[in-house]
Amino acid sequence: MVTMELTKPDKGFGRITAKDISKGFKRTDGEVTIALNHLDADIKAGEFICLIGPSGCGKSTFLRLIAGLSEPTSGVITLDEQPIKEPGYERGLVFQDPTLFPWLNIYENIAYGLKTRHVYKAHKQDVADFIHLVGLDGFEKSYPHQLSGGMAQRASLARALVNNPKVLLLDEPLGALDAFTRMNMQDEILRIWKERGTTMVMVTHDVDEAIYLSDRIFVMTPRPAKIEEIIEVLIGRGENQGRQRDSSDFLRLRSKILQILDFTGKTLSPEYYL
């Protein structure tokens, strides 16, 4: 069982606000690609948000701004009222392709953040606890190439979580996994969320995944992106916090979201069927 002594983010922290955010990229031809256009968002502490929208609409750009990996052209993003200016361990990041260091074993990968922050000695036990939390006991000495995609993604989750982030930013973290592993990982993520109370902001292409997981879904428009609609998912959660995937409420919400995305089967990629 998961030990309850695990360091956890303080309750009530992890609120993100974005006020009038715009982000442009200078292109080589001198023109500017506007990725985000006067975007506003308010994400409550401990909330599970999914961002959904057509490819290239600015979802990753928004996540990178929250991560502090790039700065908005205008507007301010805050974490618990503090403007975000640079990356920080209180905002963990997990990408579609696990970005584990290939030359470090799983234990060393997960301990990496604690070591660079010089807090490893004090939190050594956390490494073992998080390895356990994501179900990788016995794989401490394995190297990333020896793990399956799902296991590597769980190691990436543990590597972010060991730093006790208030916010976990997930950029299509399950996109590369097969359907079965993907569903297991969704439950894994829900379990971690329930256990830790971390604010979750997850980009996904998969409408069903968004409904299964989130408290609210931000539906983004094609570039330059804004949040077109915010959908509160009012369908009750099961014991594992997930929702019954074939209930009539689930299916109704799914077709509503597909409609908002202006699904025609021609203009959008087939990923929206999934």
**Which residues are at the interface with ligand ADP (CB under 6 A)?**
25, 33, 35, 55-61, 223
| Nearer of residues 35 and 174 to ligand ADP, judged by Cβ | 35
| Nearer of residues 129 and 172 to Mg ion, judged by Cβ | 172
State the binding partner of 223 from Mg ion, ligand ADP, none, CB within 5 to 8 A by kind. ligand ADP
Task: Output the CA angle 109-110-114, nearest 5 degrees.
Answer: 105
Interatomic CA distance for residues 113 and 129, integer angstroms:
15
Interatomic CA distance for residues 107 and 111, integer angstroms:
6
| Nearer of residues 57 and 219 to ligand ADP, judged by Cβ | 57
State the binding partner of 163 from Mg ion, ligand ADP, none, CB within 5 to 8 A by kind. none
User: Closest approach of Cβ 63 to ligand ADP, in Å?
Assistant: 8
68 SS3 class: coil
| Nearer of residues 64 and 159 to ligand ADP, judged by Cβ | 64
Output the residue with the shortest Cβ distance to Mg ion: 60
User: Closest approach of Cβ 168 to ligand ADP, in Å?
Assistant: 17
Which residues are within 8 A (CB) of 13 and not within 5 positions of it... i.e. 6 or more apart?
45, 80, 166
Cα torsion angle, 69, 93, 88, 128, sign:
negative
State the binding partner of 238 from ligand ADP, Mg ion, none, CB within 5 to 8 A by kind. none
User: Closest approach of Cβ 31 to ligand ADP, in Å?
Assistant: 11
Binding letters toward Mg ion, positions 50-89, x by CB under 5 A? ----------x-----------------------------
Asked if 24 and 32 count as a contact pair (C-beta separation under 8 A), the reply is: yes
| Nearer of residues 129 and 206 to Mg ion, judged by Cβ | 206
**Count of C-beta atoms within a 10 Å radius of residue 175:** 17
Contact flag: residue 221 with Mg ion (CB under 5 A): no
User: Closest approach of Cβ 65 to ligand ADP, in Å?
Assistant: 10
Interatomic CA distance for residues 158 and 239, integer angstroms:
23
Interatomic CA distance for residues 111 and 66, integer angstroms:
24
Q: State the burial class of residue 53 (Cβ atoms within 10 Å of its Cβ: 0-12, 13-18, 19+).
A: buried
Q: How many residues sit close enough to Mg ion to count as binding (CB under 5 A)?
A: 1
| Nearer of residues 110 and 189 to Mg ion, judged by Cβ | 189
Backbone angles phi, psi at 178, to 5 degrees: -70, 160
| Residues of this chain that bind Mg ion (CB under 5 A) | 60
